[in-house]
Amino acid sequence: MLPYLRLSGPPYDQGHQQGAAWAERIAHNLELYFRRFEVECKLSPTEARERGARYLQAIRQQNPGYARGLEGIAAGSGQPLVDIATLNVRYEIIYYQFAQDTPPVYLPHEAPNGCTAFALMPAHSADGHLWLGQNWDWMEGVQGALQHITEPDGTRILAFTEAGIFGGKIGLNSHGLGLCINGLVSLGDNWAGLGKPFHLRTYEVLRQKTLRAAQAVVLEEPRTASGNFLLGQGTQALDLEVSPSGVAQWEDPRQLVHANHYLAPERFGIEVPPIEWLDRSHHRAERLALRLAQVEKPGLEDLQAALRDREGAPYAVCRTASQEEYALGEPYRTLASVIMNLGTLELWISDGPPHENPYTRYQV
């Protein structure tokens, strides 16, 4: 089971509670990321911290509460604030390197990818509720955790995060609003633009009361990093592909599936670099869509089986690292699998690839 922590109070208190409870896990994640910054991005610790420091100043203006949360994590864990800030903008740091149109040879030979996500509409689910879920594929060894957060206004949030990243990234709240995510890259990505960072947007989305308010958070300009946000509430789900140059919105009466590629970037003025591993993203999306469509009205067990799919392993919906990745020191795998029922406010999550690890149930 993943570590589970209840948090409450203003942002600084929430951050301090996380920092104190997960100090060892946070130290581990910091060591891992600064090493991967050097291995995969060719960024020295000094360069990475400089980017984190610049972003911290921007975050103080964009959302003072989030900045206070970072201060709380730093104080609770005993880590430098600049390191915690750098960790919280690791998406901008890493994906910027992946987005270059002529990647240098030191970038990963294997796919960083990220996730395979779905939304199953109420009319096509076994119990008549809206379901969201995903496998979260990322760097092997990153320490994740589950948080149950009670905000000062009474909103309750159940969300997966990485130890040291504030607020949550995949989850649902007591208003029945759910969020899944996918990493994307486009030619316009530029960390130095200092637009509202990815994890600040997920933090804000999970604290909204309506789907439209959450959509506004995702689309807020300026956008200086690409990403995919799969949102749902009530009987509606929508998928938002964002980039600095354009936005694509997708809806479907039966199901939505998304991995780590834009579905039709040319239609929305989005330029995508020629990245060789995108074919693996297409495979995962097509395979998950097929598994969901094979059952007339899927239920929980069907959704779990779909996320356990190993067709095309190791680059499957349920991802494991290849021997080449281990040889390069850059392994990726499914670190958590999440399924959410937005009608009953339940969440099931596995600690590691779900074909090897069980799902544990939680409720908001």
Cα–Cα dist 102/25, whole Å: 35
Pairing of strands 236-242, 247-250: antiparallel
The angle subtended at Cα 265 by Cα 124 and Cα 283, nearest 5°, is 55
In order of start, what are the domains of the chain with their CATH numbers? 9-98 (1.10.10), 115-363 (3.60.60.10)
Adjacent-strand bridge partners of 147 = 5, 159
The angle subtended at Cα 139 by Cα 324 and Cα 198, nearest 5°, is 135
The region that residue 76 occupies, defined by phi over 0 for left and psi between -120 and 50 for alpha, beta otherwise, is: alpha
H-helix or E-strand containing 148?
strand 144-150
Q: For residue 271, give both structure tokens.
A: 């330029």
Q: How would you write the pLDDT of the chain (364 residues) with one tens digit per residue?
A: 899 999 999 999 999 999 999 999 999 999 999 999 998 888 999 999 999 999 999 999 999 999 999 999 999 999 999 999 999 999 999 888 776 544 443 344 444 567 999 999 999 999 999 999 999 999 999 999 999 999 999 999 999 999 999 999 999 999 999 999 999 999 889 999 999 999 999 999 999 999 999 999 999 999 999 999 999 999 999 999 999 999 999 999 999 999 999 999 999 999 988 776 667 899 999 999 999 999 999 999 999 999 999 999 999 999 999 888 888 878 889 999 999 999 999 999 999 999 999 999 999 9
The region that residue 312 occupies, defined by phi over 0 for left and psi between -120 and 50 for alpha, beta otherwise, is: left
- DSSP letters for 271-319: -----TTHHHHHHHHHHHHHHHHTSSS--HHHHHHHHT--TTTTSSSS-
Q: Which residues, including other chains, have CB under 8 Å from residue 329's CB and lie 6 or more apart? A: 39
Cα–Cα dist 184/216, whole Å: 19
Cα–Cα dist 194/105, whole Å: 27
Cβ distance 292 to 257 under 8 Å? yes
Instruction: Determine whether 136 is exposed, middle or buried from the number of CB atoms within 10 Å of its CB (0-12, 13-18, 19+).
Output: buried
Provide the 3-class DSSP secondary structure of residue 223: coil
